Structure 1
Amino acid sequence: MKKTTKFSPEVRERAVRMVFEQRAEHSSQWSAIESIAGKIGCSAQTLCNWVRQFERDTGQRDGVSTAEAARIRELERENRELKKANEILRLASAYFAQAELDRRNK
């Protein structure tokens, strides 16, 4: 289930770049974010989240990068599939073992 996004990756990238470019013209990063968010039509918190994620992706901030998060999601999905497969194999093995015991008793 994929989320639909109102803003394209190019718009997000440009907005984040504008925050860093205009940071010197404002008293704080938050005021730069508020100014730019109004111009592109998103909330200041949304733009702040984009900036924080960019900082994590470039190593300027601690946390999980976008690539690492995607890898974790993929590994978790694979892990779920393997657990399901193991459960199916365990049940099948038990079923056939019981069938073999029943056949020997007759």
Structure 2
Amino acid sequence: MVELVRAGRTPEELAKEFHPSAQSIRTWVRQADLDDGRRQDGLTSAEKDELTRLRRENKLLREEKEILRKAAFFARETDLPGAGTGLLPE
């Protein structure tokens, strides 16, 4: 579709022929232009993938931090010998 638009066909023509919406075709062309460096007003597909990965990793790290915070609180509250020092009996 992208190549057909670049060759001169309109998204509206292609939408009638192939049935995706004209807006979808315009979106595909815009993303292809970003990926190819033809425009700079958005994120490339690689940048979007990296952002998604980093957000997922950040969420996991926040969850792990919260678990550790609660574990430290529990260790202090139960007043175990060696709590917080790594010297708790096994």
Bin of the TM-score, shorter chain as denominator length = 0.7 to 0.9
Shift of 1:99: 1.4
Whether 1:86 and 2:72 are equivalent positions in the alignment is no
Shift of 1:54: 0.5
Whole-angstrom distance in 2 between the partners of 1:86 and 1:42: 45
Aligned residues: 80
For residues 72-83 of structure 1, the aligned pairs below 5 Å read: 72-83=51-62
Whole-angstrom distance in 1 between the partners of 2:17 and 2:39: 26
Q: What is the aligned partner in structure 2 of residue 9 from structure 1?
A: none
Q: Which runs of 4+ in 1 moved over 4 A?
A: none
Whole-angstrom distance in 2 between the partners of 1:42 and 1:55: 19
Q: What is the aligned partner in structure 1 of residue 3 from structure 2?
A: 17
TM-score by length of 2: 0.81
TM-score by length of 1: 0.69
AA aligned opposite 1:19: V
Q: What is the aligned partner in structure 2 of residue 70 from structure 1?
A: 49
Q: Alpha carbon RMSD of aligned pairs, Å?
A: 1.5
Mark the runs of 5 or more structure 2 residues left unpaired by the alignment: 82-90
Whole-angstrom distance in 2 between the partners of 1:95 and 1:60: 55
Structure with the larger helix share: 1
Name which of 52, 60, 66 aligns with 2:38: 60
Identity %: 35
SS of 1:46's partner is helix
Whole-angstrom distance in 1 between the partners of 2:67 and 2:33: 43
Q: What is the aligned partner in structure 2 of residue 39 from structure 1?
A: 17
